[in-house]
Structure 1
Amino acid sequence: MDFKISSFITPSMIIRLYILLSAAVSSKAVPEVACNRIKIGENWYDRDTLWGNIGRPYNLNVHRGSNSLFFSYSLPETYSDVDFQLAYFNIDSREYQTIAGIRGGCSVAIDQMNDDIYLGGSDGIYKYNMLTKLADFYKEKGKNIWSLFFKKNLFYISYPDQKLHIEFDGKFATVKEFENFEIDYFHVSSANVIYFANKTGLYKYDNDKMVAQVVNELITVRQIVEDNEGDTYIVSNFGVFADGKFEGLKKILDMKNIYGLAFDKDNNFIYSDEKNIIKLEYSVVGCDKKHVHW
């Protein structure tokens, strides 16, 4: 029996075939969208950029009472008299502002219990007033403040000698146990584990034996921070490490361009890279490996 193919092809079939072919061609021409989620440990998170296009944000700290992020960032080289600037960003209202009046402002420490926000620059320590949005001079006039930390007492690290000082009875004094160490970062955890870091690596200090124990001599520490549940994280040039109570230092985020880390009032991760401050929110959906975008 001799059938003619044309007798089975209708105009509607031709139209549908054309649509199918067009869709196949267009789907190949459009690039696949990269996944904007990030994985930490076994969990996936969506990224929300809070503040973009700023110079390398460091020293991220959240005042939990107002859910405001305080941090420092570097200014363009065209500014000859100032190299660092302090700022804050309210995570709830998205209100933000640079903090005036602190020359070379580069450090932050927060007493969460008393709502005291300490800021450091190249000419001493200041306290930030949340109502007036102004920084008032506090102490250590003329001292160049490299870093600040608060745990029952206020500590600061002076520059360029990198010495640790503690406030006691209204005055600051050098911490005798650390007189022989240069210190870039200092932290005392909720479990009273003492960490410090310098150019030679990360250490824990044994208060009973009065000796420093090496944790890692290969990493360059950029921040030591604790979340709202008391877990300690180390931000380094090799990524972010969590210091577990039993298993020791464990890498949870393999990202080399991370410079700061903090946790908001709901314990969400907030981190910074070279130009952005990004909030992470838990996601029930993950990404395929080929779609992951760092």
Structure 2
Amino acid sequence: MMQVLILSVVLAVARARVIEDCSGVVVHNTKHEAQVLKTGIDSPYQLALDYDTNYLFFSYSSPEDMDDGFKSAYINLKTNEFGVIHGISGGFANAVDRKNHIVYLGGNDGIYKFDFGTKNATFEGARDVSIWQLFFKDKLYFTNYPDEHVFTYEQGEPKLLPALKNTKTMLFALDSNDNIVVSNSSGIFYYVKDLSKSYHLGDYVANGITTDINKKVYFSTPDSLFFIDESGPSVVKLADIDDSIYGLVVDTDNSFIYADGNSIIRLKPTKTRCYSDNEIKD
């Protein structure tokens, strides 16, 4: 009887220690520490990371600028240099062509490119189109507002994506096998590449979508981070976040960088392993 009592006390103490050590954000059973990269910016959104230069591009709300409403900006993750990108009207969207080292920016009147020399934007094309989101995989894709259609941008011309011509789309992504992920007011949808099958993955209110270096698709909602498992396909929750989330990216170390109401934060993994009560601890 005494042995049972002692064992119960030991287990209770161990459980209390786990709870204390695992406070905060846990992803893949690993505790992560929050590292603030930039603060004092209003609603940073549409994050995109250039892996070669470690420049993180994003848009943010600029209520004092009544003409544009939004601005494009960057942070150099190596030096912490921050800058506002000039030369773009209503900067709202960002995407990186990693192969050709081109950063595309979306404004309320078309597509721009980022000039690393001047740190300004130069007009590219799709004039008078209000860009909502940019996505790059082999070619540039964008969604427009308020029509919510998906276009490709090729040889200086926007072309409606035939596969989604009848589908409202706010956020768009392609996974490693060119299957299509769509977010709209009805949730998250997954279309097999040849369009032979489609899946409604859930009524998620996505506000950010991205791919990692291996083209795996992740998305954020206002309070959680998710991953799309292609084998299902299915949605896997990675973490709940106490802050209000506005978007995310995944860096080359598989660390998550997300935006909240006024900051950009990196989640750095620690050596602390965390498990729920019904999981086997190795």
Place the TM-score, normalised by the shorter chain, in its bin. 0.7 to 0.9
Change in CA separation of 1:79 and 1:170 when aligned onto 2, cut-off 3 Å: closer
RMSD between superposed Cα atoms in Å: 2.3
Q: Matched residues in 2 for 1:279 and 1:209: separation?
A: 36
Among candidates 97, 108, 125, match of residue 122 of structure 1: 108
Identity of aligned residues (%): 32
Q: What is aligned with 1:12?
A: none
Q: How many Å apart are 1:241 and its aligned residue?
A: 1.3
Q: Contact between 1:37 and 1:287, CA under 8 Å: does it hold in 2?
A: no
Determine whether 1:48 maps to 2:4.
Answer: no
Measured at CA, do residues 264 and 40 of structure 1 come closer, stay the same or move farther in structure 2, by a change above 3 Å? same
Q: For 2:166 and 2:22, locate their aligned partners in 1 and report how far apart those are by CA, in whole Å.
A: 48
Give TM-score scaled by structure 1 length.
0.80
For structure 1, which runs of at least 5 residues remain unmatched after alignment?
1-32, 290-294
Q: What is the CA distance between 1:233 and its match in structure 2?
A: 1.2
1:64-213 alignment runs, 5 A limit: 64-76=51-63, 78-209=64-195, 212-213=198-199
Structure 2: which 5+ runs fail to align? 1-19, 277-282
CA contact (8 A) 2:190 2:199 kept: yes
- Aligned AA (1:134): N
Q: Is the 8 A contact 1:37 1:286 kept in 2?
A: no
Match of 1:265 in 2: 252
Flag the 1:229–1:173 CA change in 2: closer, same or farther, 3 A: closer
Partner residue, 2:213: 228
Task: Write the letter of the residue equivalent to 2:228.
Answer: D
Q: CA deviation at 1:168?
A: 3.0
Contact 1:177 1:210 in 2 (8 A): no
Q: CA deviation at 1:288?
A: 11
Q: Does structure 1 conserve the Cα–Cα contact (< 8 Å) formed by 2:22 and 2:31?
A: no
Deviations 1:127-149 (A, max 9, x none): 00112212111001111111111
Name the residue aligned to 1:18.
none
* Letter paired with 1:127: K
Secondary structure of the 2:78 match is: coil
Amino acid at match of 2:204: I
**Contact 1:35–1:287, Cα closer than 8 Å, also in 2:** yes
Counterpart of 2:68, as a letter, is: V
Contact 1:67 1:265 in 2 (8 A): no
* 3-state SS, counterpart of residue 44 of structure 2: strand
Kindly tell me the number of residue pairs found equivalent between the two proteins.
255
The residue identity in structure 2 corresponding to 1:47 is A
Question: CA, structure 1 residues 103+249, in 2 after alignment: closer, same or farther (shift >3 Å)?
Answer: same
8 Å Cα contact 1:64-1:264 kept in structure 2: yes
For residues 263 and 184 of structure 2, what CA distance do their matches in structure 1 show?
25
1:66 aligned counterpart, secondary structure = coil
CA distance in 2, matches of 1:136, 1:222: 27
Quote the Cα distance in structure 2 between the aligned partners of 1:253 and 1:159.
30
Greater Rg by CA? 1
Shift in alpha-carbon separation, 1:139–1:210, aligned structure 2, 3 A? farther
The CA distance in 2 between the partners of 1:264 and 1:277, in whole Å, is 13
Of 223, 234, 244, which aligns to 2:229? Answer: 244
The aligned amino acid for 1:143 is V
**SS of 2:207 mapped into structure 1:** strand
> Cα distance, 1:120 vs. partner?
0.5
